[in-house]
Structure 1
Amino acid sequence: MMQPPAQALPAFDTRPAGDPIARLDRIPVWPYPYSLLWVLGAAYFFAFFDIVNIGAVLPEIASEFHVTATLASSAITAGLIAYIIGAYGIGSLADLFGRRLSLVLSVGLFSLGSIGAAFSPSFEVLVLFRFITGLGLGAEIASVTTYLGEITPASMRGKYTSWATTCAYAGFVAVPFVARFLLPTYRWGWRALFLIGAAGGITIFFMRWHLGESPRWLMIHGHEEEAEKAVRQAEACARQRFAHPLPEPEPRLNRSEPRGYPTSSLLHPPYRRRVLLLIALWFFYYIGNYGWLEMLPTLLRQISYSLASSLTYLIVSGVGFVAGALLSIWLNDRIERHRTLFVAGLIWVLALLTVGLIPQPSVIMAAGFVASATIGLMVPIMYTLTAEHFATPARASGVALTDGLGHIGGALAPILVLIGTLNFGFFGGLLVMALSGVGVLGLLPFTIRATRKPLDEVSG
């Protein structure tokens, strides 16, 4: 039997102040054990370690398997294509069967892929396992973003998404440090880097004990008693940390949620326009983002920088990822998100052009630090903003679909960057990245304004 079509525009009435979601949103402190944050942070650390390590080892892979730099970059492209498939496929499972299940599946997949890549006997096998890794990475990023956005009270939604992303960028920073030691010294160093990424699988065992299901997901799937229990536990934890009585819950808009398969609601107003806008936003952003993250070592090698020098510059500039993410913890809920993103995006474009025009060691390190810091600042805010555009029944699918299809830009980034270098040399590669940032700046004004507002007031 066919599912009824999704409602185009959700109706709503007033939700009573005693409703579990209203009570969750009014809590002024982090209402869960901090171990939950550490488990998610560790999973994110190893996921992002795995995202960026392919860029560091790309020259070594080309040498090991006797392939060109262009062909070697197909390992990046395969992973990003898989990212799209995994983000949407497992993201849909998260909407249907729960956020917790999708987190476990995603971590298991990227860990399995990393182990396989480490022991690949040929380039073709390596590409296959990077594809499997990409399935898990795409799913995890969509799942963590959705999960944190739903379990966190409205006033601090951005703060804790930024906290998790800070852990992720610590994984970014760790790659060049480890690669600086392994790659110049050991022929098998690139394989060891993949194995380190696989260590993220250990967090699966801790997820079983520390991660509860999203109360919002429980409510819309008819598990009111479980949602009530989860919120009572959150309130009890918050009372132990908060020196004053918890504020009274405010009545919220109670929207009737779209029915049917999650994606079906995304094809109707107001979500259809939001989907197209966010796909375009992420598409442009990921061209520059992945161009910088994955291709910089290759570009530096092309202008005669040694492997050791390239990794040293990555270490210095990479500290900017964590610096930017730490700054986003403070900014994410203080200033309207699209304004912060616009200023950071403009600085990002200027930093990329500076590196391209003046590829001297000191400039690469200084401007590279700024470029990396803006990435670290922008990504958690963009994740938070994306999740706010969708209602709970299709939130994971919406995040996965837009972020996932946006990764087509990331998949094209190595090709576009290399084409840029063919025509304009090193500067051409950086120019491609900078132009993608201009596309981001043009789209940001059309996003919704949701900072510090309850999800049910802005997602419908």
Structure 2
Amino acid sequence: MAVKRQSTMAVKLDNSWIEQNSDAKNSKTKNNYFDGLKVTGPYKMLFFIITFAYFFEQMDNWNFAFIAPSLMADWGITMADIGKINFAYFVAMTLGGLTGGVISDFIGRRKTFLASIFIFSLASVANGFAPNLLIFTITRAITGFGIFCLMVCSQVYIAEMAPSATRGKWQSLTASIGFIAAPFIGILCSVVIPMSPSAWRHIFLLGGIGLIGFFAGLKYLKESPRWLVAQGKVDEAEQVIEELTKAKVDLSEVASKVEPKVKTMEVIVGLFSPKYSKRTFVILLFVMLTVPASFVITTWTTTLLSQRGLSVDATLTASTLLMFGVPAGCYFASLIADKGGRKIPMAAMAITVAVLSVIFGKLEGFVPIVVCGFFMIGACMALNFITYSYIAENYPTRMRNTSTGIHNAAGRLATSVLQLYVPIVFAHYQFSGVYNLIAIMVCLPVAVLLLWGMKTGRRSLEEIS
């Protein structure tokens, strides 16, 4: 009996070659996950849910920068007390990054993502009902824990779900839309806070609306196929890709190359193994200097402007206008993130932040402060989100979320320590001294990144790892 041979042909989709069986109508194509597949329909819905979660996460993240001066007046607390609240917030963020990274490697990206939304949304409501400074500090810390669980998980989730050619674009584009929350919360605070001494509570209560993202995610959010393949669930991973893209894919080849799961301690040891030690050193140095500097800009500028002599109304107005630099910076990152192997745009943005910080620290007058501050915060956010993509890309699937959590947690831990020293630097060196410190911190790791950092842009995650 004659045996019919199946013929195959090469098909090019968005610059990625796949092999396709041309005989059977329901045949599968061998492909590297989403590489070469178009982002349409249900696939876009996934990124929409991430964007929605980003929006309310960042409402809860940015609101305290606007609320702090009002809280100082309402409760009679000092800049040192604000520093302690921020310290607790970033320590909890550190724990959230570590926990979120480890847990999502074991229970999956989807479950961790949803749990994070649930935690920070409820904690925000609890902030609004806090009766005293101690309870407020605790509930604010829980908010930070949930926020950074989601941030770490979402970085890895987008990196694993987006096509390799546009990974940086989707990372930054979802953020640029979600981070419209920054100017939105500024406008909201400008309207609500002047209503009464305790009107700041209403801002926190609105954070509970983020639970809508939780319930939407329960229905529409899909698990990462890369994580599923790492768990041996190849058929389920192929089904997820088909549901999102309508393409029938064969992941048997990429599944055969997946390395076995490793324990958390093995991941930590692996970070400093000969293969990964150089990239680990480069990333740790970069995040432990640039992340704290970035958060001084985003969390302290409103308070520092109020201490500089601006009225409450002028401070809120200026800070709100500055916040339009947040989505603008994220959008700009989406345009440049995939160029220069990722590390070139990172270096360029770091230098830009340094230059603008020095200028910002010396400016007088409402208009110059707003204009320079807008570009400074825009460059800062572009730097942050290109860095987020870069971190997640440097490690294989089996260690990606845990290693991302460790790196980001290191950055947040350094940030929490710096929060205690910002009031001291301000007391001794005034407004300009704080922003000169920022410039020094973001410049220091640039040479190391350019010399020893990997180029990751427009390369598949499997090739990089």
- Shared fold per TM-score greater than 0.5: yes
Partner of 1:218: 228
Structure 2: how far apart are the matches of 1:30 and 1:151? 13
Structure 1: how far apart are the matches of 2:240 and 2:233? 11
Give the letter for the 2:428 counterpart.
N
1:134-191 CA-to-partner distances (Å, cap 9, x unmatched) read 1101100001111111011111111111112113321112121111111122222211
Partner of 2:261: 259
Q: Cα gap change, 1:146/1:30 in structure 2, threshold over 3 Å: closer, same or farther?
A: farther
Partner of 1:150: 160
Partner of 2:14: none
State whether residues 162 and 325 of structure 1, in contact with CA within 8 Å, keep that contact through their aligned partners in structure 2: yes
Partner of 1:304: 309
Structure 2 residue runs without a partner (length 5+): 1-17, 20-27
1:290 aligns with 2:295: yes
Aligned pairs, how many?
436
Partner of 2:8: none
State whether residues 117 and 130 of structure 1, in contact with CA within 8 Å, keep that contact through their aligned partners in structure 2: yes
1:93 aligns with 2:98: no
State whether residues 50 and 194 of structure 1, in contact with CA within 8 Å, keep that contact through their aligned partners in structure 2: yes
Q: Over alpha carbons, which structure has the higher Rg?
A: 2
Residue 28 of structure 1 and its aligned partner are, at CA, apart by 4.4
1:180 aligns with 2:190: yes
1:246-293 CA-to-partner distances (Å, cap 9, x unmatched) read 9x99x8796442532144123122234433432221121122111111
Structure 2: how far apart are the matches of 1:164 and 1:327? 12
Q: Cα gap change, 1:418/1:354 in structure 2, threshold over 3 Å: closer, same or farther?
A: same
Residue 410 of structure 1 and its aligned partner are, at CA, apart by 1.9
Residues 186-335 of structure 1 aligned to structure 2 (within 5 Å): 186-236=196-246, 255-268=257-270, 269=273, 270-335=275-340
Partner of residue 57 from structure 1, selected from 64, 67, 83: 67
Structure 1: how far apart are the matches of 2:39 and 2:122? 36
State whether residues 147 and 214 of structure 1, in contact with CA within 8 Å, keep that contact through their aligned partners in structure 2: yes
State whether residues 31 and 234 of structure 1, in contact with CA within 8 Å, keep that contact through their aligned partners in structure 2: yes
Identity of aligned residues (%): 22
Other structure's SS at 1:453 match: coil
Q: Cα gap change, 1:280/1:23 in structure 2, threshold over 3 Å: closer, same or farther?
A: closer
Partner of 2:174: 164
Structure 2: how far apart are the matches of 1:286 and 1:44? 18
Partner of 1:350: 355
Structure 2: how far apart are the matches of 1:39 and 1:149? 15
Give the letter for the 2:354 counterpart.
V
1:336-395 CA-to-partner distances (Å, cap 9, x unmatched) read 211111111111111111111123222211110110110221222111111001111121
Partner of 1:79: 89
Structure 2: how far apart are the matches of 1:287 and 1:90? 20
Give the letter for the 2:421 counterpart.
L
Other structure's SS at 2:100 match: helix
TM-score (norm 1): 0.89
Residue 30 of structure 1 and its aligned partner are, at CA, apart by 4.8
Partner of 2:13: none
Q: Cα gap change, 1:21/1:199 in structure 2, threshold over 3 Å: closer, same or farther?
A: farther
State whether residues 321 and 372 of structure 1, in contact with CA within 8 Å, keep that contact through their aligned partners in structure 2: yes
Give the letter for the 1:198 counterpart.
G
Partner of residue 135 from structure 2, selected from 120, 125, 135: 125
1:448 aligns with 2:458: no
1:377 aligns with 2:379: no
TM-score (norm 2): 0.88
State whether residues 24 and 234 of structure 1, in contact with CA within 8 Å, keep that contact through their aligned partners in structure 2: no
State whether residues 39 and 245 of structure 2, in contact with CA within 8 Å, keep that contact through their aligned partners in structure 1: no
Q: Compute the RMSD of aligned alpha carbons.
A: 2.3
Structure 1: how far apart are the matches of 2:83 and 2:155? 28
State whether residues 417 and 428 of structure 1, in contact with CA within 8 Å, keep that contact through their aligned partners in structure 2: no
Give the letter for the 2:411 counterpart.
G
Structure 2: how far apart are the matches of 1:179 and 1:313? 12
State whether residues 110 and 135 of structure 1, in contact with CA within 8 Å, keep that contact through their aligned partners in structure 2: yes
Give the letter for the 2:375 counterpart.
V
Give the letter for the 1:267 counterpart.
V
Structure 1: how far apart are the matches of 2:242 and 2:258? 24
State whether residues 295 and 415 of structure 2, in contact with CA within 8 Å, keep that contact through their aligned partners in structure 1: yes
Give the letter for the 1:364 counterpart.
I
Q: Cα gap change, 1:128/1:375 in structure 2, threshold over 3 Å: closer, same or farther?
A: same
State whether residues 30 and 152 of structure 1, in contact with CA within 8 Å, keep that contact through their aligned partners in structure 2: no
State whether residues 54 and 76 of structure 1, in contact with CA within 8 Å, keep that contact through their aligned partners in structure 2: no
Partner of 2:428: 423
Partner of residue 438 from structure 1, selected from 416, 425, 443: 443
Structure 2: how far apart are the matches of 1:254 and 1:383? 28
1:26-52 CA-to-partner distances (Å, cap 9, x unmatched) read 224457432222211111011111111
Residues 407-418 of structure 1 aligned to structure 2 (within 5 Å): 407-418=412-423
